[in-house]
Chains A and B, each alone.
Chain A
């Protein structure tokens, strides 16, 4: 990595790296997710259709990975926009903690919602 590429981001080294790691994960799993829902199963959207898809452990793994990675990526993205418009230091730690609480909460809610489809 070029040092200037990392220095460009004020959000911290780990969020910067995690944003790129989750970007790759979302890229791959979103491609599979959209191919399954929008190209192969278009017009068949229903509770049972989702159940049939998630009955395959591979597809369940794809959707779980996508859920975790995209929730992080989306919330950190919103955080980066927020940092660009906020004054440095003002309550930043509190906001970071709030983003983590929201993210973990949304992930577990999403996992809870998917669970009956996966366990059948």
Chain B
């Protein structure tokens, strides 16, 4: 694959500068982090059957700390960014809003920020 092909291989990557580049880089990083977490999550929750209810509850007690609630909020932030930027990619593939793609991006990011605010508000008492 040539350098030119590689640059245009993904949405946002065609603009190797500015907002589109950062949107693409963050999309990749959040995707890889979430893929890694998915397998950790399946491994942890499956202990309910693999090791029994008692062991799973003991694991949950270990996670019941402000640090883990905070890290969990970081995961929620990654999910919200990946989901809302994904909406933008689907819209672009369907040909919707291409002429105002930057506005579409920031409107979706505002929605992501508001939703994150809801999760932070609910989780706040468990961190402090």
B26 located at the interface, meaning its Cβ lies under 8 Å from any Cβ of chain A in the complex: no
> Are A88 and B1 touching (Cβ within 8 A)?
yes
Task: Please report the C-alpha to C-alpha distance between residue A2 and residue B11 in the assembled complex, in whole angstroms.
Answer: 13
> Are B38 and A74 touching (Cβ within 8 A)?
yes
Chain A residues lying within 8 Å of B66, measured Cβ to Cβ, are none
B46 located at the interface, meaning its Cβ lies under 8 Å from any Cβ of chain A in the complex: yes
> Are B76 and A117 touching (Cβ within 8 A)?
no
> Are A8 and B10 touching (Cβ within 8 A)?
yes
| CB of A29 to closest CB in B, whole Å | 11
B103 located at the interface, meaning its Cβ lies under 8 Å from any Cβ of chain A in the complex: no
| CB of B124 to closest CB in A, whole Å | 10
B99 located at the interface, meaning its Cβ lies under 8 Å from any Cβ of chain A in the complex: no
| CB of A45 to closest CB in B, whole Å | 5
B74 located at the interface, meaning its Cβ lies under 8 Å from any Cβ of chain A in the complex: no
Closest residue to A4 on the B side, CB-wise?
Answer: B8
Of A10, A75, A117, which one neighbours B9 at CB under 8 angstroms?
Answer: A10
B50 located at the interface, meaning its Cβ lies under 8 Å from any Cβ of chain A in the complex: yes
Give the total of A residues in contact with B, Cβ under 8 Å.
Answer: 42
Task: Please report the C-alpha to C-alpha distance between residue A10 and residue B119 in the assembled complex, in whole angstroms.
Answer: 37
Task: Please report the C-alpha to C-alpha distance between residue A77 and residue B38 in the assembled complex, in whole angstroms.
Answer: 13
Of B11, B53, B76, which one neighbours A38 at CB under 8 angstroms?
Answer: B76
Question: Given contacts A2-B93, A20-B93, is CB(A109)–CB(B46) below 8 Å?
Answer: yes
| CB of A22 to closest CB in B, whole Å | 11
> Are A78 and B32 touching (Cβ within 8 A)?
yes
> Are B95 and A2 touching (Cβ within 8 A)?
yes
Task: Please report the C-alpha to C-alpha distance between residue A42 and residue B93 in the assembled complex, in whole angstroms.
Answer: 36
A59 located at the interface, meaning its Cβ lies under 8 Å from any Cβ of chain B in the complex: no
B21 located at the interface, meaning its Cβ lies under 8 Å from any Cβ of chain A in the complex: no
Query: 5 tightest A-B contacts by CB?
Result: A113-B46, A74-B35, A47-B53, A5-B93, A113-B49
Interface residue ranges, B against A (CB under 8 Å):
1, 5-6, 8-11, 28, 31-32, 34-35, 38-39, 42, 45-46, 48-50, 53, 56-57, 60, 63-64, 72, 76, 79, 83, 86-87, 90, 92-95, 118-119, 122-123, 126
